[in-house]
Structure 1
Amino acid sequence: MNNYKIKLILILCSTILFSCSMIKKSVVKKEDIPQKSSDPLYQEIQKAGSEAAKKNHVPGLAVAVIRNGKIAWIQCIGYADVASGKPVTAQTIFNIGSISKLVSSWGFLQLVEKKLITLDEPINQSLTRWKVPPSPYDISKVNLRRILSHTAGLSVHGYGGSEQGTPLMTLEESLNGKTKRNGESVHLINEPGTKWKYSGGGYTLAQLLLEEKTKESFAGYMKKSVFQPLGLNHTSYEWTEEMKASSATAYDTLGKPIKNRIFTEQAAAGLQTTISDLAHFAELSITTDSKGLNRVLNPETIHLMEQPVIPLSNDGESGLGYRFMNFEGLRTIGHTGENIGWSAGMFLHLPTKSGLVVLSNGSRGDNVWYSVYMSWVKTIKAVQTHHVDN
């Protein structure tokens, strides 16, 4: 057994936990943040999260719990990098997979607010660099509302990305199917507006739309027009050199380190962020506070995004970017995200203004966030029961 494996086993078998303090003091007052000893849920998540991480070869995770529309606390467990022993902190960068779609939808709806496009106009009429190819189905029914709610009838479930350091294909090449993962082009596979069918390809099409309408790169536009105004200063659709220095290392299903993945399809899968930034984004999704939104979107727009779009199916139901989920009998909105070496979940329960955000740096991190979710969901159901009884 080599030295790396020995070190990995020793670290994973330990129960050393690293707690992280809140960064956004302007958002949450220090006296409002429960300490470990004062919140049973903190202790339960600490135990469930560390046990699940060890079992699934996930070195580290970061957890944020939101109560009454505000971050209650952030907890960090384990390692951002095993070899160096670097702990996860509130400033550790994670890729968040398909939660990228939810965040990118804010940029797309900003185009609507700016009247650069409407939700229901045919998208092909706005594109010049690439268009949805001819089809037996009605292409004129492919619009932004349907794309963002996975009801546009488009192909390509997801993307695998490329190893960091390799040349990226263009958006047009990706849309034409020059991806290593499946080689599938973006095209119509169902009549638009008749069925819910998850499509990362649709978000790649929306990414192209944003670039054509703004004459800017997607990542640059999102940074300038969404992230900076919201105060998400450690969030980017690009792996900048500064972010690499603060990034966690990605690990495969066996707990072995792997290179980061980069994506042409940034809107669908390519967002990097911290637990602190994403938890603040979750706060804004719950409270839709005008001051906090800083004119990025109107509160009415976010409320619209959080409403279900017909049709739904047994496979899923979505708003505009926000997915509806029903794990353990609790209906939430948000999204989950899995890329090779990463897994994350964001769950918002609007009736109680509660939320849970979990980021991890392992391919089997879905088992970890689900264990954490199981602890959290009991507290939400208890609140619901209390409200009914009273």
Structure 2
Amino acid sequence: MTNNIHSKVNLATVFLLISLTMLSCSTKKIGQTTNIYKTEPLYHEIEKLGKELTVKHYVPGIAVAVIRDGKVASIQSIGYADLASKKPVTPETIFNVGSVSKLVSAWGFVQLAEKGLVKLDDPVDPFLTRWHLPDSEFDKSKVTLRRILSHTAGLSVHGYGGSDQGTKLLSLEESLNGKTKRNGETVHLASEPGTKWEYSGGGYTLAQLLMEEKTKQDFSSYMKQNIFLPLGMKNTSYEWTEEMMKNSATAYDELGNPVKNRIFTEKAAAGLQTTITDLAHFAELSITQNPKQLNQVLKPKTIQLMETPVLPSSNEGESGLGYRFMKYEEFRTIGHTGENVGWSAGLFLDLATKSGIIVLCNGSNGDRVWYPIYQSWLKTVKANSASK
């Protein structure tokens, strides 16, 4: 990426002008708590931070959901989904969410275990026919679904960069063999399974292959039919369909330049598109585990299992099944963050207080926007906890 000073100055001017003529903030009213919530300081702090930080960091738009008492209290849409057309962000604007994809895909993988198609602690490799883990000094029979989803399986490949939309995707087998990585890194055992926590997007690609082998279905189709539609997540997909593109935000790089959407062979690891409305509902279910709303997708006790740490953990990380334990500002939450070129997202839940915040951004600098918003939310959570 060329760091052109003149283009940066021009873009800064454009963003400044935009800030003077916008930023609109729309709110989806959900239940009776929304009007009360709008009078509270956090609502106005999010609006203020959103308007200031999106301009400062070349992130055209964001969508923010706050969860209180296990329910969505408010959804705020700030800025633009597309600068050129002045299309505003709405609660139905579609964002790519990067590695938050792992958290959602884990529901599909664990559902396989509920259906009896796999067992969480059985070796994965014997179930595969299209590709196998290469032999090594490490014991591949210890690579299980539980360890894959908790990043304790000893597998390689941290993450993926994707391809420009419109290009032909390589197969899962080619990805596992390193064909989608510039450095040619294959998915293989880098350490003995079960001995340490080491983040592996490659493990989720292996789980994606496992799902396709066991269900005889394409991963995206299985997730849509068995997870998204039953949960009412009608605007969520691991594909960039034409219908999705109509409501999609445009992605922007670090300097605020529009970039092409990235598409992924490794959909389970990085390829999810969704709206703040759908993802906030998913977050609600992560907290309440309401059987009626779950619609037999997963049992409440299964979600509780997914939100339980899997050993070993380390200073580098700690995970349940799909859910990561994070410690920003010395406060432990559960959820996930995600970064792809042109996109950034964060989903944070405090199960003890049934609180949460989700922020979706259509800019590469989105973490510079969502982190201060997270900090403001955290102050409110701590204050509410102290008052009880």
Answer yes or no: same fold by TM over 0.5: yes
Could you tell me how far 1:100 is from its partner in structure 2? 0.2
- Deviation, structure 1 residue 10: 1.5
Q: Which moved more, 1:10-19 or 1:355-364?
A: 10-19
| Structure 2 Cα separation of the partners of residues 143 and 106 of structure 1 | 16
1:255 matched residue in structure 2: 256
Matched residue, 2:27: 20
2:193 matched residue in structure 1: 192
Residue aligning to 1:382:
383
Q: CA deviation at 1:18?
A: 2.3
- Rounded to whole Å, the distance in 1 between the matches of 2:35 and 2:151 is 39
Q: Deviations over 1:3-39 (max 9, x none)?
A: x8454442145552221324xxxxx42x221367512
SS of the aligned residue for 1:276 comes to: helix
Rounded Cα–Cα distance in structure 2 between residues aligned with 1:151 and 1:221: 25
Shift of 1:180: 4.0
User: AA paired with 1:72?
Assistant: A
Q: Distance in 1 between matches of 2:120 and 2:179?
A: 28
Distance in 2, matches of 1:256 and 1:12, equals 17
Separation in 2, partners of 1:362, 1:376: 21
Q: Structure 1's 313 and 13: CA in aligned 2 closer, same or farther, altered over 3 A?
A: farther
TM-superposed deviation, 1:54 = 1.4
| CA drift at 1:165 | 0.3
| 1:91 and 2:92 correspond | yes
- Residue type at the aligned position of 1:189: A
SS at match of 1:355: strand
Q: CA RMSD in A?
A: 1.5
Looking at structure 2, the residues matched to 348 and 142 of structure 1 have their Cα atoms a distance apart, in angstroms, of: 29
State how far apart, in whole Å, the 2-side matches of 1:299 and 1:37 are.
Answer: 31
Once the two structures are aligned, what percentage of the paired residues are identical?
Answer: 66
Is 1:46 aligned with 2:47? yes
2:25 partner amino acid: F
**Does residue 120 of the first structure (1) align with residue 127 of the second (2)?**
no
Counterpart secondary structure, 2:352: helix
Q: Distance in 2 between matches of 1:7 and 1:370?
A: 24
> Which residue of structure 2 aligns with residue 278 of structure 1?
279
Corresponding pairs, count: 381
Alpha carbons 1:159, 1:181 under 8 Å: kept: no
Distance 1:13 1:254, change over 3 A: farther
Partner residue, 1:78: 79
Q: Is the 8 A contact 1:229 1:294 kept in 2?
A: yes
The one-letter code of the counterpart of 2:208 is Q
Q: Structure 2 CA distance, aligned partners of 1:291 and 1:179?
A: 41
Contact 1:95/1:273 (8 A) holds in 2: yes
Which residue in the other structure is 1:106 paired with? 107
Contact 1:110 1:297 in 2 (8 A): yes
Q: Which whole-Å CA distance do the structure 1 matches of 2:196 and 2:234 have between them?
A: 38
Question: Do the aligned partners of residues 255 and 12 (structure 1) sit closer, same or farther apart at CA in structure 2, a change above 3 Å counting?
Answer: farther
Partner residue, 1:291: 292
Q: List alignment gaps of at least 5 residues for structure 2.
A: 1-5
Q: Quote the residue 1:308 is aligned against.
A: 309
How much does 1:367 deviate? Answer: 1.0
Match of 1:141 in 2: 142
Q: Which amino acid aligns with 1:343?
A: S
Distance 2:278 2:248 in 1: 14
Preserved contact between residue 36 and residue 43 of structure 1 (Cα < 8 Å): no
Structure 1 counterpart of 2:157: 156
Q: Deviations over 1:268-318 (max 9, x none)?
A: 000000000000000000000000000000000000000000000110000
Query: For 1:75 and 1:148, how far apart are their aligned partners in 2?
Result: 32
Aligned to 1:318: 319
Residues 28 and 75 in structure 2, CA contact (< 8 A), matched pair in contact too: yes
In 2, the alpha carbon distance for the partners of 1:181 and 1:307 equals 35
TM-superposition CA deviations, 1:319-351 (whole Å, max 9, x none): 000000111121110000000000000000000
Q: Secondary structure at the match of 1:351?
A: coil
Q: Secondary structure at the match of 1:77?
A: strand
TM-score of the superposed pair, with normalisation by structure 2: 0.96
Regions of 4+ moved over 3 Å: 4-9, 12-15
